[in-house]
Homo-oligomer: A and B are copies of this chain.
Amino acid sequence: MTDSHVVPQPNSADQALRARAERVIPGGLWGHMTARILPEGYPQFFDRAEGCHLVDADGRRFVDMMCSWGPIVLGHHHPAVDAAVAAQAARGDCMNGPAPVLVELAELVVATIPHADWCQFGKNGTDATTTCVTVARAATGRRKVLVARGAYHGAVPWCSPSVAGVTAEDRAHLLFYDYDDVASLHAAAEQAGDDLAAIMASAFRHDMGQPQVMPTPEFARAARALCDETGAALVLDDVRAGFRIDLGGSWEPLGVQPDLSAWSKAIANGHPLSAVTGRERFREAASRVFSTGSFWCGAAPMAAAVATLTELRRVDGPGRMRALGQRLRDGMAERAARHGLRIDQSGPPQMPTILFADDPEWKRGFAFCAEALRQGAYLHPKHNMFLSCAHTEADIDRVLDAADAGFRHVAR
C-alpha cells in the first residue's frame, strides 16, 4: 500500500455490491456495521487493509479512525500477530479440545489483569457479558442486575438496544441507574433489596450520539462498596474499552477492581475472541455455568491474543494511543476554533467522540464526516472512535488536514 491517499472515486462498485446484498441479506447488512446509519458516501464494503489504512471496494483509501469499531489495536497485518496466527494455524486451530496456547494465554491474562484469578474464553462480547451475569446469579443465588440507562452490553434479548422480538421476561430482573450517579445507583440497589446479584458498569459512558462521561472515583468506589456490603458481583463491561485505557482493566486508574470483567474487541487484534475474568470467589460458580461454543477452543485466535497482549505490554500500547489521541484532540480543537466552530470532544483520548455544539440531529457531524471522508479520513459522526498503535503522527496530521476541510465545509 502506498503512503498517499488517492483522490476519491465514485463508489459504483460499493453500490453494486449493496444492491446484490439487499437481495440476499435482510436490510443489506445486520447490526452495527451497516452503512445505512452513516453519512452519504461512506462505503459498505472493504477490499483490503494495512496498518491504520483501509481501501474500500472502489479503491478509495482512508486513514481509519474506527479500527473496525475497536478490534484493530495494533493495526491490520501486524507482523507479530500474523506470524503467531500462521504458526498456530499450521499446526491446528479447531480441534477436539484446546491447544497448549490456551494455557499460555490464560496465564498471560491472569498475570496482566490484577483482579483476574481466573479466565475463560468465548467469541463475542455478548458471550462475555452474558456469562458474567449468569455467573453472578449462580454465585449469589440472586437475580437482580443493575445496568446503566442507555448502556450497551450486547445484542441479545436481555440487553439488545432493539426491542424487536424481545419479551418482558427477558429483562424482568434488570434495574436501571444513571451512569456516574451515586444516588441513582443506591436507589436501584435499594429496589433490588436482598435479590441483588450484580452491578454492571461500562468502563465509561460511551452511549452512541452522546458526549462520553468518565466515571468519577466516587462512583466507582460506591459501586464497589455496595457489592462488598451485599455480596453482589461488581461486573465491569470492558468489551469496548479493554486494553486501550489500561492493560489491567479500565478502572485500574480509579483504583477500583471489579469481581468479574467482560473483554473482547481489542484482545486479539481482530481475531474472534472474548474473555471473562474473575476473582477467586466466583470461580466455583463459573465452573458450574455452562458456556460454550463450537469454536471456543480455536487455537489461532488464542495465539493472536498472546501476541497482541505481549506487544501491547512491550510498547505500552495504552500510553502510545493516549498520546496519539491527544494529538488528534488538540489538533481538532485548534482547527475547529480556527473555523469558528464549537465542538465537544469527550472520553479518553484513545477513544474519542467528537460532536458539534447545538447539533442534536448530528447534521453538522454528518456533513463534517462526509467531507473528511472525501479527503481520505474515515471518522464517525456519532460513535466513539478508536486509536491504534499503528497510527503515526503523520497519519493523525493527515486526519487533521481532512478534518480541516470538513470544518471549512460546515462553517460555510
Residues of chain B lying within 8 A (CB to CB) of residue A26: 118, 120, 278, 283-284, 286-287
Q: Does A33 contact B (CB under 8 A)?
A: yes
Contact B165–A173 (Cβ < 8 Å): no
How many Å lie between the Cα of A120 and that of B31 in the bound state? Answer: 10
Contact B162–A173 (Cβ < 8 Å): no
How many Å lie between the Cα of A71 and that of B95 in the bound state? Answer: 9
Q: Does A272 contact B (CB under 8 A)?
A: yes
Contact B123–A123 (Cβ < 8 Å): yes
Task: Name A291's contact: one of B31, B103, B123, B127 (CB within 8 Å).
Answer: B31
Minimal Cβ-Cβ distance residue in B for A108: B24
Residues of chain B lying within 8 A (CB to CB) of residue A31: 290-293, 296
Within 8 A of B (CB), among A179-198: none
Contact B165–A30 (Cβ < 8 Å): no
Q: Does A264 contact B (CB under 8 A)?
A: yes
Within 8 A of B (CB), among A52-109: 54, 57, 64, 66, 68-72, 76, 91-100, 102-103, 106-107, 109
In the complex, besides A23-B118, A47-B100, A157-B158, 8 extra interface pairs with C-beta distance below 8 angstroms are A20-B103, A26-B283, A30-B286, A46-B95, A93-B271, A126-B293, A135-B165, A137-B165
Residues of chain B lying within 8 A (CB to CB) of residue A97: 29, 33, 35, 43-46
Give the size category of A's interface with B: 35 or more
Residues of chain B lying within 8 A (CB to CB) of residue A25: 102, 106, 118-120
Q: Does A294 contact B (CB under 8 A)?
A: yes
Task: Name A46's contact: one of B96, B292, B301 (CB within 8 Å).
Answer: B96
Contact A297–B169 (Cβ < 8 Å): no
Q: Does A409 contact B (CB under 8 A)?
A: no
Within 8 A of B (CB), among A89-148: 91-100, 102-103, 106-107, 109-110, 118-127, 130, 133-139, 143
Q: Does A410 contact B (CB under 8 A)?
A: no
Min CB–CB distance A208 → chain B (angstroms): 12
9 residue pairs bridging A and B, Cβ less than 8 Å apart: A21-B103, A25-B118, A25-B120, A30-B120, A30-B290, A31-B292, A76-B92, A134-B166, A157-B158
How many Å lie between the Cα of A30 and that of B120 in the bound state? Answer: 7
Q: Does A219 contact B (CB under 8 A)?
A: no
Residues of chain B lying within 8 A (CB to CB) of residue A110: 24
Min CB–CB distance A114 → chain B (angstroms): 14
Contact A70–B156 (Cβ < 8 Å): no
Residues of chain B lying within 8 A (CB to CB) of residue A345: none
Within 8 A of B (CB), among A254-293: 264-265, 270-272, 278, 283-293
Minimal Cβ-Cβ distance residue in B for A155: B292
Residues of chain B lying within 8 A (CB to CB) of residue A27: 286-287
Contact B130–A270 (Cβ < 8 Å): no
Residues of chain B lying within 8 A (CB to CB) of residue A99: 45-47
Best-surrounded residue of A32, A71, A100, A138 (most CB of chain B within 10 A):
A100
Given contacts A26-B284, A102-B21, A297-B33, contact A138 B120 (CB under 8 A): no
Given contacts A110-B24, A170-B169, A284-B26, contact A92 B46 (CB under 8 A): yes
Residues of chain B lying within 8 A (CB to CB) of residue A70: 294
Contact A49–B118 (Cβ < 8 Å): no
How many Å lie between the Cα of A295 and that of B304 in the bound state? Answer: 14
Minimal Cβ-Cβ distance residue in B for A273: B295
How many Å lie between the Cα of A110 and that of B160 in the bound state? Answer: 27
Residues of chain B lying within 8 A (CB to CB) of residue A160: 289-290
Q: Does A41 contact B (CB under 8 A)?
A: no
Q: Does A167 contact B (CB under 8 A)?
A: yes
